[in-house]
Amino acid sequence: LLVVIRETGEDERLTAVRLEELESLVTTMEAEVVASMVVPLRSIEPATLIGTGKIEELQELIDASGANTVIFDHDLSPRAQRNLERILEVAVIDRQEVILQIFSNRAMTKEAVLQVALARQEYSLPRLTRMWSHLSRQRGGMRGTRDAGETQLEMDRRIVTNKISSLKKQLKKVEEQRGIQRKSRRESFIPTAAIVGYTNAGKSSLLNLLAQSDAFVENKLFATLDPTTRQIQLPQGGKLLLSDTVGFVSNLPTNSLRPLNRPLKRRSIATS
C-alpha cells in the first residue's frame, strides 16, 4: 500500500507524478501495488509522521486491500517507523528503503556491491531498536527478555558499526584503484563524455546505438547501476570514451547517494 504525502501548497499534478514514480520504484523492487493513498499534511507529527485520523483511514484501507506492507514516499524516522508498525501491525518502510533494495538487487561490480552494503548498514544502524521490538512482541514480553534484548542490541550495534568501518576500508582501496584507472585515461588524451538523464529514459539504448555495443537494457528504473564506458569513433576522426551512468530520480535520499559516487565522479570528469 503506497502512501504519498502532499504538503501544503503542493500542486496536485506534482503529487500525482510522485505517486507514479513511487509505484514504478515498487514495481522495480518486484512488489505488487494493491492500493494507494494521498495524505494532505499541514505539519509533521514526530511520533507517527501523520495524525491519528489519517492513521485510522490507513488502517481501514489496509484491511480492505489485504496489504501486508505500507510504503511511504516521505522519509520515516526510526521512531515513526517503529510506532506505525506497532499501530498498524504490518511492515512499514519508506522510499529510501525501496531504493536501497533496488540498488542491492542491481549491483554487480565489487565497488557497487560494497557501496550498497555500506548504505544499508548505515540505514539499519538507528533502526536496530525497531528490529528488537518485533522480537519482544513475538515473545509476548516474557520475563527476562528485555534485559537480554538490550544486551543483544548493544552487541548488534557493535557488529554493525564494525561492518561499516570494514566496508569503508574496502571501498577506500577500490576507489584508489579506480583513481589510478582514471588517471591512466586522462593521460591517454582521449576525450571523455557521459550520458546523463532521468532513470529509464533510454541512456543505455543511446550508448548501444552510438557505440554499437550491447550494454544491458531493461524497461525498469535503475536498470543501470554499474556505469559502462565504451570507446566510439567520431565521424570526423578521433575517439571518445562515452560512459552510461545511473539515472536521476527525484529526492534521492542522502545515504542512497553512496552507490552513485563513481558515476557522479564520471560526470564531473566528463565536464571538466
Residue-wise pLDDT tens digits, 210-222: 888 776 555 556 6
More confident residue, 10 or 60: 60
pLDDT at 39 over 80: yes
Which fold is adopted by the domain 2-104? Rossmann fold (3.40.50)
Greatest mean pLDDT among 32-41, 119-128, 193-202: 32-41
Confidence band of 108 (pLDDT split at 50, 70, 90): confident
Q: What pLDDT, on the 0 to 100 scale, is given for residue 221?
A: 60
Domain boundaries, the chain: 2-104, 107-179, 190-271
Q: Tell me how far apart the alpha carbons of residues 125 and 10 are, in angstroms, rounded to a whole number.
A: 33
User: Which runs of E-coded beta strand occur in the chain?
Assistant: 2-7, 36-41, 69-72, 91-94, 192-195, 228-233, 239-244
Confidence band of 80 (pLDDT split at 50, 70, 90): very high
Element (H, E) at 130: helix 128-138
pLDDT at 129 over 60: yes
What letters, b where the CB count within 10 A reaches 16 and e where it falls short, cover 15-39? Answer: beebbebbebbbebbeeeeeebbbb
Domain 190-271 in the same topology as domain 2-104: yes
Q: What pLDDT, on the 0 to 100 scale, is given for residue 113?
A: 86
Report which of 34, 31, 46, 44 is spatially closest to residue 5, judged by C-alpha positions: 44
Write the pLDDT tens digit of every residue in 151-177. Answer: 777 888 888 899 999 999 998 898 888
Write the pLDDT tens digit of every residue in 230-247. Answer: 888 888 888 888 887 776
Q: What pLDDT, on the 0 to 100 scale, is given for residue 247?
A: 67
Q: Tell me how far apart the alpha carbons of residues 207 and 242 are, in angstroms, rounded to a whole number.
A: 8
Mean pLDDT across 74-86: 93
More confident residue, 86 or 242: 86
CATH, domain range 190-271: 3.40.50.300
Torsion of CA 212, 214, 215, 218, to 10 degrees: 120
pLDDT at 50 over 90: yes
pTM of the model: 0.72
Mean pLDDT across 32-52: 94
Write the pLDDT tens digit of every residue in 89-99. Answer: 999 999 989 98
Q: What pLDDT, on the 0 to 100 scale, is given for residue 175?
A: 81
Q: What percent of the chain shows pLDDT beyond 90?
A: 33
